[in-house]
Amino acid sequence: MSAPVLPPVAVVEADARQGSSPAERAAARRPKRRRLQNGQRPGFLAYGFLTAVILGSVFPLYWSFLIGSGDATTITRQDIVWWPGGNFLDNAAAVLTDGSVNFWRAVGNSILVSTVVAAAVVLFSTLAGFAFAKLRFRGRNGLLVFVIATMAVPTQLGVVPLFIAMSELQLAGTLSAVILPAIVSAFGVFWMTQYLSQALPYELIEAARVDGASMIRTFWSVALPAARPAAAMLALFVFIATWTNFFWPFIVLDRQDPTLPVALSLLQSNYFVDYSVVMAGVILSTIPLLILFAVAGRQLVSGIMQGAVKG
Amino acid sequence: MTATADRPRATGTPPTAPPTKRAPSDTTGKTERQIRRIAFSQTLSRWDFKYSPYLYISPFFILFAIVGLFPLLYTAWVSVHEWNLIGGQGDFVGGDNFAFVLQQPQFWIALRNTFSIFLISAVPQVATALLIAAVLDRNLRGKTFWRMGVLLPYIVAPVAVALIFSNMFGDQYGLINNLLGQLGIDPIGWHSEVLPSHLAIATMVNFRWTGYTALILLAAMQAIPRDYYEASMLDGAGVVRQFFSITIPQLRPTLIFVIVTSTIGGLQIFDEPRLYDSAGQGGASGQWMTITIYLYNLGWGQLNFGRAAAVAWLLFLIIVLVGLLNLAITRRIASGDNPQKVLDRASRRAARSAARTARTARTRRDQEVDA
């Protein structure tokens, strides 16, 4: 699309000024700081400290691999074992083929649930965020305040009635019961509203409108592409949150049809003697997110940083 | 939608037409003429403009009403009735469920445990995170590497964290007791005693969240104007002095929000204590049983939903009370020694970022319900 030449509409201009100026000011300030800091690199102490912190982050994972690659006796040895044994594949096979805990099914369920929830949250949040950020309608401010207010209420408060409702709807025990309560997120709406109010110039929307695009077309061809970075970030966080979620799936899911965290909890109650199998399960369930972290860790970091700074 | 109905308008209107004409309040003579010419598609387009925002926000509100708002309100109804998992709704019992719960020593044990675990996790966590953030805020080589390394535990599910640490903190053969033994210290009953079990669970929470908190604080630190540091350097202040005299005061709003959100999350803790042993009851004598474990046991162990709902409400009230307390303390500190004139712009920006931070963190916890 060519550069927007039309002057922004008067009614929305006020909003534009209000929304984007703090971010612009912050952005203008950032390079200055980098310049100032260059030259004075911190000493070994800082690197030593950070190395210790990272070792602390990695060690528990390494430890679980140590146990997971040993056998049932590893854990009972009086001297400490520091190197992995050769039984990881055996233990992993024990986890995967065990009849009482359907681990493969749990992997599939977790992938399905996390993907669907992430996709739905991103779609609904972007839609609502687009409307809140860029469209003018009666009750907009009030509704947005309501969305933000809902973030303050702990979801745990509703767990009992939610379970009753799911039972009434014949959904208890199914994956829908896990997906349904999670497919909208007040935070997601807020996040996309914040992002779009800065990242999407009114001129672009006006240009699309002038070219004859309907609202939904404008959303699809103008807002959605502009929202992509924030949407990817939101998808990442929602995916991880859903993947690691335990409480609600634990309550509502069948023991035969679990998600990964639920499967892990079952492994423990079945195998509490042989920790090496349990730990192999821990490693197996963490591998997918480790891969995700290797691919998108940078985005995760900047997502947290942005969530806290941008605005 | 009106995508197709809109098309004629696209060809019929000159592309240079001012888009203002679609806003009903801006009707001018020229606009009226055009409306008459392409009346139908124009009307559709105006409807599109007027009503589609509601369409876009409706999925959130409809679904939230069903899965968020309704359960919240319905909890109140359930909590004043006799309610059984199998039998469903029974008689109206008023405050009996609340009275029952409040008379149970288990409830008070759970309350004590929850606060104890929360306090010994939140305080060291924020302190450590501050330190990590301060180091990360220096001009490091390989920034991204260090930041990612610090964040790594965040992707490990709390359940997995609980399994790993409950193994490391094993009473008999656990790594920690082994190491202590080599130092000549008697083994500690990490699973049998109250305070050690709380320490172990707090360690799990801190393992997962410290890096995350550090990154939030780091983001707020980077918003502090560097001029302050420059000026203090000219005055001869060292790194430590700068940290306490500039960084900490400037971070106050973010710090407070980190504390508030970790309160909300911490008071709901479930995964870690639940998985700390294979029985999941919070210890033989409830050493580490938390309020949410108690809620779960009432609801899905004893099948008494009325009482479980009452516990949910009590938990909510406690969270609100603690939140208000936090707020009161915050207000006091903020209105006290803060030289508003100097910090005004910076602190306002920090407050904004803190508010956002809080929402990030809160939702992260909301989505996990039990983090």
Mean pLDDT, range B264-271, rounded to an integer: 87
Per-residue model confidence as pLDDT tens digits over A212-236: 777 888 888 888 888 888 899 899 9
Mutation target vs B (from A159, A162, A234; most B CBs, 10 A cutoff): A159
Cβ atoms of B346 and B224 closer than 8 Å = yes
On whether any CB of chain A is under 8 Å from the CB of B224, the answer is: no
Query: Does the beta-carbon distance from B132 to A248 stay under 8 Å?
Result: no
| Class of CATH domain A96-310 | mainly alpha
Mutation target vs A (from B131, B141, B163, B293; most A CBs, 10 A cutoff): B163
Question: What pLDDT is attached to residue B346?
Answer: 56
B357 pLDDT higher than 90:
no
Question: What pLDDT is attached to residue B15?
Answer: 43
Domain borders along chain A are 8-38, 96-310
* Per-residue confidence band for B369, with pLDDT thresholds at 50, 70 and 90: very low
Distance from CA of A236 to the nearest CA of B (A): 11
Question: What pLDDT is attached to residue B345?
Answer: 55
On whether any CB of chain A is under 8 Å from the CB of B132, the answer is: yes
Per-residue model confidence as pLDDT tens digits over A81-139: 778 777 888 888 888 887 678 888 899 999 999 999 999 999 999 999 999 988 888 88
Please name the residues between 161 and 220 in chain B that touch chain A, using a CB distance below 8 Å: 161, 163-165, 167-168, 170, 172-173, 175, 178-179, 207, 211-212, 215-216, 218-220
Question: What pLDDT is attached to residue B113?
Answer: 93
Nearest to A248 by CA among A127, A126, A155: A155
Query: Does the beta-carbon distance from A10 to B20 stay under 8 Å?
Result: yes
Mean pLDDT, range A268-294, rounded to an integer: 85
Question: What pLDDT is attached to residue A8?
Answer: 31
Report d(CA B182, CA A85) in Å as an integer: 23
Which among A157, A213, A244 has CB closest to B312? A157
**What is the rounded average pLDDT for all residues in chain B?**
79
Distance from CA of A109 to the nearest CA of B (A): 16
Question: What pLDDT is attached to residue A69?
Answer: 84
What amino acid occupies position B129?
A: A
Question: What pLDDT is attached to residue A187?
Answer: 87
Other Cβ atoms closer than 10 A to B14: 7
Query: Does the beta-carbon distance from A212 to B20 stay under 8 Å?
Result: no
Query: Does the beta-carbon distance from B60 to A80 stay under 8 Å?
Result: no
* Per-residue confidence band for A58, with pLDDT thresholds at 50, 70 and 90: very high
Per-residue model confidence as pLDDT tens digits over B3-58: 333 333 444 444 444 444 444 444 455 555 555 556 677 777 777 777 888 888 88
Q: What is the dihedral of CA B298, B303, B307, B312, to 10 degrees?
A: 60
Query: Does the beta-carbon distance from A157 to B218 stay under 8 Å?
Result: no
Strand, coil or helix: what is A256? coil
Question: What pLDDT is attached to residue B350?
Answer: 63
**CA B46 to each of CA A221, B3, B15, B38, B67: distance values in angstroms, whole numbers, following the listed order:** 20, 12, 17, 12, 33
Question: What pLDDT is attached to residue B29?
Answer: 52
Q: Quickly list DSSP for B168-210.
A: HT-TTT-HHHHHHHHTTPPPP-TTTSHHHHHHHHHHHHHHHHH
Question: What pLDDT is attached to residue B361?
Answer: 62
Half-sphere exposure of B184 (CA within 13 A, CB side): 0
* Per-residue confidence band for A273, with pLDDT thresholds at 50, 70 and 90: low
Percentage, residues of chain B above pLDDT 70: 78
Query: Does the beta-carbon distance from A54 to B146 stay under 8 Å?
Result: yes
